[in-house]
């Protein structure tokens, strides 16, 4: 996979959200090198996929992600989905955090019950929970639980395309 990098410096993305499951970490790594920006000017997020769940698998997959991304650290490392041995995965992430291989760690797509469970047993409370959030999916209950642990919501979403089209067509 190749990723086009814009030639004008002010057009480059500074926040890059990738994941093992997307299959594009190598391409992202090549783009990071090609763009020529200092690493500290970029914010790189990647996510551990469920096939790499568990302590040993996650630990190895973190190293593989760093290698593919051509960096010594990521700014944010997340568990992509709360399936498999996500406790073991999170322990491997805590180690990566303590070793400076991840500047922050968190979770993605965790409903409040799963989030509370991991936050209760973790040494390092998740910095974020990346969940679908938009005007039609505001995550009000999740926000309450996350706030109690000083965890931020990091939004992802399809921009509610179908609902927006439906609203526009009505008026």
Q: Do 3 and 24 form a contact (C-beta atoms < 8 A)?
A: yes
CA atoms of 66 and 74, how far apart (whole Å): 7
* 22 noted as active-site residue: yes
Considering the candidates 13, 22, 111, 115, report the single residue annotated as catalytic.
22
User: Which one-letter DSSP state was computed for residue 159?
Assistant: T
Q: Which of 69, 77, 34 is nearest to 12 (CA)?
A: 34
Distance between CA 108 and CA 68 in Å, rounded?
21
CA distance 96 to 93: 5
Residues with catalytic function: 22
């Amino acid at each position: 996979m190749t990723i086009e990098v814009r030639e004008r410096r002010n057009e480059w993305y500074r926040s890059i959200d990738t994941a093992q499951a997307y299959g594009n970490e190598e391409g992202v790594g090549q783009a990071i090198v090609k763009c020529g920006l200092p690493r500290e000017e970029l914010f790189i997020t990647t996510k551990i996929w469920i096939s790499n769940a568990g302590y040993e698998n996650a630990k190895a997959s973190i190293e593989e992600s760093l290698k593919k991304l051509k960096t010594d650290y990521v700014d944010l490392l997340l568990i992509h989905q709360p399936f498999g041995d996500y406790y073991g995965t999170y322990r491997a992430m805590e180690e990566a955090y303590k070793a400076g291989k991840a500047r922050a760690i968190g979770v993605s797509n965790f409903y409040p019950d799963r989030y509370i469970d991991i936050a209760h047993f973790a040494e390092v409370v998740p910095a974020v929970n990346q969940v679908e959030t938009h005007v039609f999916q505001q995550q009000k209950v999740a926000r309450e639980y996350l706030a109690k642990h000083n965890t931020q919501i990091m939004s992802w979403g399809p921009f509610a395309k179908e609902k927006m089209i439906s609203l526009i067509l009505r008026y």
